Structure 1
Amino acid sequence: MRVVVIIPSRYGSSRFEGKPLADICGKPMIEWVCRRTIQAQCVDSVHVATDDHRIQEVVSAFGGSVVMTSSTCRSGTDRVAEAAQRLGLDSDDVVVNIQGDQPLVDPRCVDAVVQPFHDDPTVKMSTLAFAIVDPREINDPKDVKVIFDNKGDALYFSRATIPHGRDGSSGYDIYKHLGVYAYTKKFLEQFLAFTPGRLEEIEKLEQLRAMEHGHRIRVVVSPYDSPEVDLPMDIQRIEARMAALGLC
């Protein structure tokens, strides 16, 4: 079973055009994501999937691997699936989908999201959660929350605060969903063949599609946060965290 990280990356964005190439501590953001994920112990290879030659040139310049994909991909997951096909992966190989706007992704997160495939042969898809420590994230719809059962399988993902204490109670953990997924290549292809679900359309959360079609998503709680860069103003916050970690 090979473990292959594929980082979907596009240049165009209504909120932050050219985001993958944004400078963070002297390196383009996509380079940080590549260099950190390749440090994971379980990873066989890391590839950037893009349809933009500017991204291709930058990734090639720092020695990264690029898979050119179609410009008609509807989502990052579509782009990951196309790249996995072009790479000739086997149906049982594990594909790790990491968003290209997570320059602080911890290599141990990659190992953690892959571990369920070794522990439980019935797992087809997994993802990560992090116990929220920043109160702002609890009510911010940008930060997706997840709840899961005693086995670790997701019960629901939402932009709302879940669980919601009826009596205003507190003192319990609320988990943020981290944008790192792993799937067998076979299930990734099945997932994209599913019709979008009603809850997916309401919440605008693609992962709900798998659950609406009756499939489990194993959730692994990670002690390592992986904050995303959504807007240019986020870069200063990320650079401050990198400086505190001695990365820049």
Structure 2
Amino acid sequence: MKIISMIPARYAASRFPGKLMQDLGGKTVITRTYEATVATNLFDDVIVVTDSDIIYNEIVNNGGKAMMSKKEHDCGSDRIAEAVEFLDIDVVINVQGDEPFTDKESLKKLIEVFENDPNKEVDLASLMVHIEDEEEINNPNTVKVIVDQTNFALYFSRSPIPYARDKNVRVKYFKHKGVYAFRKQAILDFYKLPMLPLEASEKLEQLRYLEYGKRIKMVETDVQGVEIDTPEDLERAKKLWK
């Protein structure tokens, strides 16, 4: 299989504009993320896909590979779909530009999903982390996922799922990490399908796949990392980097 990684990168993030160009240990967040992804040595290619000249120049001027989006896009999956349409690949892994602590073992587990799927039953795979902190479970910025017995996703939500009506039943809560691995055809299908009510309501693009019957295999990892969504997250990332 030919497997590449693409890093969608918007400059004008709604909650923290310009976050990808913030300094993290002497380099920008997006450069740290790109270098961490390349350093895994898991991919035939690693490319940043962006709508920003600033980010494009940042990557290219530091010896990396980048592509400019031709169109405006609402989400990272749309940006990647446009970029891979004419590339000869089998699987593309979407690494979020604001995750500079992306680790090799988690990405390797995603690749193994497709290597162990000869009948091509899996359309895409993604990561989840077990969480126990009540504040995180109830935080709408933490996306939760519930899965079936074989770890296929049943639903994603910003609400706590499952709802603990019976406090005596022990359930595990999982946080969804926004790292996706797609079969090429699955992401091209996504690009052509209109948004439906669940995705529109929760503002979670992965729900589009579920609403149209695609199968998402979830892979558990114990690597939390830091997603930089706010200035506070950036400060946490700086401490972790040190």
TM-score category, normalised to shorter length? over 0.9
Q: Does 1:175 align with 2:174?
A: yes
* Deviation at residue 17 of structure 1 after TM alignment: 1.8
Question: What letter corresponds to residue 20 of structure 1 in structure 2?
Answer: L
Match of 1:99 in 2: 96
- Structure 1 segments, 4+ long, off by >6 Å, are none
CA distance in 1, matches of 2:47, 2:40: 14
Determine if contact 1:127/1:182 at 8 Å carries over to the other structure.
yes
- Report the more deviating stretch, 195-204 or 36-45: 36-45
Q: Does 1:119 align with 2:116?
A: yes
Paired residue secondary structure (1:127) = strand
Paired residues for 1:24-35 under 5 Å: 24-35=24-35
Determine if contact 1:105/1:225 at 8 Å carries over to the other structure.
no
Match of 2:215 in 1: 216
Identity %: 38
Paired residue secondary structure (2:94) = strand
Q: Does 1:42 align with 2:54?
A: no
- Shift of the 118–195 alpha-carbon distance from structure 1 to 2, 3 Å rule, reads same
Match of 2:12 in 1: 12
TM-score normalised per structure 2? 0.93
Question: What letter corresponds to residue 72 of structure 1 in structure 2?
Answer: E
Question: What letter corresponds to residue 100 of structure 2 in structure 1?
Answer: P
* Deviation at residue 171 of structure 1 after TM alignment: 4.8
Deviation string 1:57-89 (CA, Å, 9 cap, x unpaired) is 111122110011124223211111112135x23
Determine if contact 1:37/1:110 at 8 Å carries over to the other structure.
no
Determine if contact 2:73/2:79 at 8 Å carries over to the other structure.
yes
Paired residue secondary structure (1:152) = coil
Structure 1, unaligned runs of 5 or more? 244-248
Determine if contact 1:38/1:107 at 8 Å carries over to the other structure.
no
TM-score normalised per structure 1? 0.91
Match of 1:157 in 2: 156
* Deviation at residue 185 of structure 1 after TM alignment: 1.0
- Shift of the 236–169 alpha-carbon distance from structure 1 to 2, 3 Å rule, reads farther
CA distance in 1, matches of 2:26, 2:91: 32
Paired residue secondary structure (2:178) = strand
Paired residue secondary structure (1:233) = helix
Determine if contact 1:20/1:28 at 8 Å carries over to the other structure.
yes
Match of 2:193 in 1: 194
Determine if contact 1:94/1:184 at 8 Å carries over to the other structure.
yes
CA distance in 2, matches of 1:168, 1:55: 48
Determine if contact 1:117/1:124 at 8 Å carries over to the other structure.
no
Determine if contact 1:41/1:111 at 8 Å carries over to the other structure.
no
CA distance in 1, matches of 2:14, 2:213: 33
Paired residue secondary structure (1:180) = strand
Matched residue pairs, number? 240
Deviation string 1:181-240 (CA, Å, 9 cap, x unpaired) is 011111110112222122111211111111111111100011111321111222111112
Match of 1:205 in 2: 204
- The Cα RMSD (Å) is 1.6
Paired residues for 1:43-122 under 5 Å: 43-85=43-85, 88-90=87-89, 93-120=90-117, 121-122=120-121
- Shift of the 62–135 alpha-carbon distance from structure 1 to 2, 3 Å rule, reads farther
Question: What letter corresponds to residue 156 of structure 1 in structure 2?
Answer: Y
Match of 1:240 in 2: 239
Paired residue secondary structure (2:231) = coil
CA distance in 1, matches of 2:222, 2:121: 25
CA distance in 2, matches of 1:134, 1:235: 20
